[in-house]
Structure 1
Amino acid sequence: MTTTIENPNYAYPARSRGRRGPNLEKAGWIFMRASGVVLIVLIFGHLAYNLLWTPGGIHAIDFGFVGGKLANPFWQWWDVLMLWLAILHGSNGMRTIVNDYVHKPAVRRVALGAIGVAAAVLIILGTLITFTFDPCPPNADPSLLPSFCAER
């Protein structure tokens, strides 16, 4: 009795022999490894600062703490880089899953388009919020503002 194993590249091989141009699958693979390493540094740095190096630890994290942290350009860029890499890393992972398991070209295009649109919207909104966040907006009702806004 013999068993025949199907070719695992039956539907969409990552790279055809006669194909020219950049190898986007290889670039995606390398990006996942590099962004994963950078994300580990960014996430653990974020956690260490917020939980270990801040006096009071987790109990000190409140609206004022976040407002003060986002007023510092260093932490703005740290958080934006972490946001961008996390969204791009996750989106690339979802793209890989769709390419592996969705075999109908029209459905794949729709799924990949939805992933791309979702990633773009999240990156744009997250970046906008990070750089425009103001815990003490002008002309706001003073009873709704945090206590540190009265010092301005």
Structure 2
Amino acid sequence: MMATSTAIPAPNTRQLKRRRVNWEMWGWLYMRVSGVLLVVLIFGHLLVNLFLGDGVKAIDFAFVAGKLADPFWVVYDMLLLWFALIHGANGMRTIINDYAHGRLRIVFLVALAGATIVLLTLGTLVLTTFDPCIGEPSATLAPLCAAQ
């Protein structure tokens, strides 16, 4: 009786499939994380603007100018802007993927991406380049402008 040997393949020699990025999973995860962060940011925003100080009647141009003179509030408002806008755009992307098909879907997705980029750019520019002291400052802004 002659022994026949069967070759056992070496481990990990099979061809591995190239993994692609799972954009749907990352989008789903972003919605959950950004949703929690947005709740914290929004309640902080409402607390400072509506409940502390004189409430809603104190919100005017000088109040906003004073807040945007502080780098903390610029970063805070920018995080709120970016998280909220991308969160909303991601939700719209999901709706477009569910209901639009063919070329119309591509048109909607490109328009959504364009609108998101434009709004993020404009909002970021407003927050980072805001200068309340252009021209003749009002009496309420004079102390802020004199400090610069």
* TM-score above 0.5: yes
Unaligned 5+ runs, structure 1? 1-17
Per the alignment, residue 41 of structure 1 pairs with 40
Per the alignment, residue 146 of structure 1 pairs with 138
Per the alignment, residue 110 of structure 1 pairs with 107
Q: How does 1:2-151 map to 2 (within 5 A)?
A: 20-53=19-52, 55-104=53-102, 106-137=103-134, 140=135, 142=136, 145-151=137-143
Q: Which runs of 4+ in 1 moved over 4 A?
A: none
* Letter in structure 2 aligned against 1:59: K
CA distance in 2, matches of 1:103, 1:83: 30
Deviation at 1:127, TM superposition (A): 0.5
% same residue? 54
The 1:19/1:97 distance shift into structure 2, 3 A limit, reads farther
CA distance in 2, matches of 1:96, 1:28: 9
Task: Give the TM-score of the pair, scaled to structure 2.
Answer: 0.82
Unaligned 5+ runs, structure 2? 1-16
Task: Give the TM-score of the pair, scaled to structure 1.
Answer: 0.80
**Aligned pairs, number:** 128
The 1:64/1:86 distance shift into structure 2, 3 A limit, reads same
* Letter in structure 2 aligned against 1:113: V
